[in-house]
Amino acid sequence: MDIQQIKILLDKFDRAETSLDEEKVLREYFLQHSEIPSRYESYRAHFQYCESARKKNYQNPELEKRLEDLMEDQESSGKKIALDSRKIFSWIIAAAMVILIGTTVLFLNRNQKPDLGTFDDPELAYIEAKRTMMYISQTLNYGTKELSNISKINSGVESLRNLEKLNSGLYKLKMLSKINETTTEEKK
């Protein structure tokens, strides 16, 4: 098989899109060819491992016999594998305790009010409020310094107000041209 076809199959293999027949072709290629490009050596090791695992016999007749006997005993006694009622009850108790503890912790933490830093002396409260308001004012005024250039833009717009007069004049000229057209059509 051509190395280009193997490369295409390996790309499909990496995306898990190969069929069993295509994987068989890849396995045979890597097991039969001794000279392959070095970038594909990891694939060779993979397919060699898969082949050796496929050839090993992992069956244990003793274990199979014991499993069959165990299944027959279960079927003959009619007992189903079930959880012990004590275990179920202990799990329910544990879950209830977790819920109870979690709810208690949430309730206790929710009712605690944070210390807002209140003042007993009204003068101290006034001074602190004034200091806070001054800080906010300075912060807000700092951001408006750059807006002073907007007045320059407004002055430029004011000078364009004269264009309204030009517009009204153009409207009158348009009306005159329509009158002129109607008079020339009447003369014809």
Tens-place pLDDT, residues 86-142: 788 888 999 999 999 988 888 887 766 666 667 788 888 889 889 989 888 877 776
Share of the chain above pLDDT 70, in %: 84
- Burial of 42 per CB tally in 10 Å (0-12, 13-18, 19+): exposed
Helices first, then strands: H and E counts in the chain: 8, 0
The reported pTM is: 0.32
